[in-house]
Amino acid sequence: MFLKVTTAAVLLCALCAIAFAVFNFYSVKAKSEGTKQMADIAGKIRSGAMAYLSRQYKTVAVFFAVLFVIFVILSAAGSMSWFAPFAFVTGGLFSALAGYVGMKIATYANSRTANGARESLNKGLKIAFSSGSVMGLTVVGLGLLNISAWYMIMHFIAGLQDAELMQVLLTYGMGASSMALFARVGGGIFTKAADVGADLVGKVEAGIPEDDPRNPACIADNVGDNVGDVAGMGADLYESYVGSIVSCGALAVSAFGDGGSSRAAAVMLPMLIAAIGIIASIIGTFFVSTKEGATQKMLLGSLRKGTYAASILSAAGAAALIFTMMPDNKGLFISVIAGLLAGVLIGYFTEYYTSDSYSPTRKLSESSETGSATIIINGISLGMSSTALPVIIIGIAVLVSYFVAGGANSAETGLYGVALAAVGMLSTLGITLATDAYGPVADNAGGIAEMSGLEHEVRERTDALDSLGNTTAATGKGFAIGSAALTALALILTYVDSIGAENMDLRVTNPAVLIGLFVGAMLPFLFSALTMKSVGRAAQQIVIEVRRQFREIKGLMQGKAEADYRTCVDICTRSALREMILPAALGIVAPLIVGFILGPDGVVGMLAGALICGFALAVMMANSGGAWDNAKKYIEAGHFGGKNSKNHKAAVVGDTVGDPFKDTSGPSVNILIKLLSMVSIVFAGLIASGNLMNLF
């Protein structure tokens, strides 16, 4: 009876999130798009984004079909449940759907945000944030809906026991991670190829403003904001969300092996905490508002009110759940608080390093005085130094959550506490993601204002919202990377549990573990190299095409002829779909190769190396890129020479280097480290029985 009631409650909260998202979707869509020209530009962006997603999903469908067949064969051989192939497909399908819905509302909200900014800053903020809340609540709603639905089907109808049920849900998580990696990498290559190409030729060579309609890549740039920073991000955080819940549930099975009510409560607790977080996030959205002429700090404060309110409500709800359901394990509440606080602190320090309200980014702007080389050197240095505090914060969160959950007496319950900290960190994802998804909408709104020739004060308002969006996007990436570290750690522990710690030799002196550590540490660098090289190749094609149009289309630079936007969009689409395959495949193939050569011990080493190295590398790239972007905007606001100065051109070069850092490679690494773990768990049986280390 307990399981039926709690699962129904989780399902109801998921449906509430989806219902509120639908309400906000149509509320935003009911707003006016503005002038005919604004609506026309928004239509071009929307059609380009939808065309890209359609082609991307067709490409990825082939990959999912192949793996589905492999899983069916493994199911027939008795290696996994018959539910697993279908769970894998639904994981990918819902991850794609989360990104699709977010992108759909973003492409409707961009012109409406620009039009709202014609009236006031607050109205522009409200529309952009409401559109972001659609994606935030869609992600958590769909994630919890799918998990609870699978749980009901497999537990109450099929009668699966907890261990087998969690294995199926982990396969579902692998599907979500696979789709997220394709979406992040493909979208990241698209958006940064267009952005870099548009900036290098438009701003640096031609000296025309950002989003100038004379620039042939400006529509592709705005399309990229949606397919990369919205659709890709939605799929990314969907898999983070479900991964944290599923890995925590899987650890509950081993931590509370006596079965009975304590195990049932431990399995359901992460789902219930996530459900409470949904309600808290919905309430938090009503706290977001600002006033005309607000500074960046005031705008950030407006968004913080919503996220802090949601965090407090979520913490109170988690306390009520834990004290009621698990009175003998009250320390688990501190584990949840540790995760929540870690998320807030990582977000704050990310903001400190990337916002132009603080000294690091302002000093980075000042370094443009001596050219692009010094701003690049200082930007890389800033990113490297910014890794220290997030690593310390995650380390403290792990220690606290482990010991307060009873790690001194039982390692299993301590590890469950660490997994619960990841759930706590992501419990308010509904509103945290809303503040992140708001950014690309504000960016698009500024582009539409520029291309439509709206009043200068409108562009000032959209620039203020866009600059805030750069900071919230960087904060969101820091939050996602931090949660990825905790979730990946929980997944590694789940993998060890699935193999059996008694069957493994995890000493560093074990050659398999040592080699695995080296391979794992190398993988994030190899992955980042592949994705950044892909951006470079695609950007070169855009640069060549934009130069060609400037040279060959008579009257384009005088504003007497229209640029060929479609060709640039097509170049980015084809490049992104072609270039995303190899990096995404790396996350699937690497654990299998390492597993079959080095065995389960080597896989643990690989997962640990990838987690530690990938976490630091992702933080470094995200913060360097965010700081470069806001340093450029700080100069554009009139500091250090302002727009079209030598300082500005140096900052634009720095920003173009930072683009693939923060929007392609950096955010994709956090998916990679979780996908490696998911694949390892799903194929744990094969790795354990068929590796070359068995020969020695």
pLDDT of 116-149, one tens digit each? 888 888 888 889 888 888 989 999 999 999 998 8
Q: Which three-class secondary structure state does DSSP give residue 580?
A: coil
The DSSP letter of residue 209 is P
Contact 59, 100 (CB under 8 A): no
Contact 193, 538 (CB under 8 A): yes
What tokens were used for 595? Answer: 């597993």
DSSP 630-648: HHHHHHHTTSTT-TTSHHH
Report the C-alpha gap between 188 and 584 in whole angstroms. 12
CA distances from 3 to 8, 13, 320 (A): 8, 15, 18
From the list 336, 168, 250, 242, the residue with the least C-alpha distance to 10 is 242
Report the C-alpha gap between 621 and 627 in whole angstroms. 10
| Residue located via tokens 């999130």 | 17
Give the model's pLDDT for residue 695: 44
Q: Which three-class secondary structure state does DSSP give residue 144?
A: helix
CA distances from 640 to 88, 365, 375, 471 (A): 53, 8, 13, 21
Contact 71, 171 (CB under 8 A): yes
Report the C-alpha gap between 42 and 231 in whole angstroms. 17
Q: What are phi and psi of 33, to 5 degrees?
A: -80, -10
Residues 6+ apart with CB under 8 A from 588: 178, 675, 679
Residues 6+ apart with CB under 8 A from 420: 248, 269, 270, 273, 332, 335, 336, 339, 401, 405
Contact 169, 235 (CB under 8 A): no
Summarize pLDDT for 246-304 with one digit per residue, the tens. Answer: 888 888 887 776 654 577 888 889 999 999 999 999 998 888 776 666 666 777 777 77
Least confident span in 20-29, 160-169, 584-593:
160-169
Give the model's pLDDT for residue 523: 95
Least confident span in 69-73, 102-106, 218-222:
218-222
Burial class (CB in 10 A: 0-12, 13-18, 19+), 359: exposed
DSSP 345-400: HHHHHHHHHH-TTSHHHHHHHHGGGG-HHHHHHHHHHHHHHTTHHHHHHHHHHHHH
Of all residues in the chain, the percent with pLDDT exceeding 90 is 28
Report the C-alpha gap between 364 and 561 in whole angstroms. 38
Give the model's pLDDT for residue 292: 65
Summarize pLDDT for 605-655 with one digit per residue, the tens. Answer: 999 999 999 999 999 998 999 899 889 988 988 888 888 789 988 998 898
Give the model's pLDDT for residue 261: 53
Summarize pLDDT for 177-222 with one digit per residue, the tens. Answer: 899 888 888 888 888 888 888 877 777 777 777 677 788 888 888 8
If DSSP states are collapsed to H, E and C, what string results for 220-243? HHHHHHHHHHHHHHHHHHHHHHHH
What tokens were used for 393? Answer: 């914060």
Q: What is the mean pLDDT of residues 108-117?
A: 90
Any alpha helices (H) in 387-510, and if so which ranges? 388-404, 411-426, 429-451, 456-499
Q: Is the pLDDT of residue 539 over 90?
A: no
CA distances from 475 to 221, 300, 349, 432 (A): 22, 11, 8, 9
The 10 Å Cβ neighbour count of residue 377 is: 13
pLDDT band at 351 (very low <50, low <70, confident <90, very high): confident
Give per-residue burial for 344-356: e unless 16+ CB within 10 Å, then b: bbbbebbbbbbbb
The 10 Å Cβ neighbour count of residue 2 is: 11
Mean pLDDT over each residue of the chain, to the nearest integer = 86
| Residue located via tokens 């280390």 | 693
CA distances from 533 to 185, 192, 362, 596 (A): 12, 11, 29, 29
Report the C-alpha gap between 696 and 682 in whole angstroms. 25
Residues 211, 212, 213, 217, CA torsion sign? negative
Give the model's pLDDT for residue 270: 92
Half-sphere exposure of 112 (CA within 13 A, CB side): 20
Q: Which three-class secondary structure state does DSSP give residue 164?
A: helix
Residues 6+ apart with CB under 8 A from 507: 513
Summarize pLDDT for 503-512 with one digit per residue, the tens. Answer: 888 888 899 9
Contact 332, 269 (CB under 8 A): yes
Residues 525, 661, 360, 351, CA torsion sign? negative
Domain extents in the chain: 2-695
The model carries a pTM of 0.88
Of all residues in the chain, the percent with pLDDT exceeding 70 is 95
What tokens were used for 623? Answer: 């913060």
pLDDT band at 17 (very low <50, low <70, confident <90, very high): very high
Report the C-alpha gap between 129 and 442 in whole angstroms. 9
Q: What is the mean pLDDT of residues 460-489?
A: 77
The DSSP letter of residue 319 is H
Q: Is the pLDDT of residue 91 over 60?
A: yes
Which amino acid is residue 610, in one-letter code? A
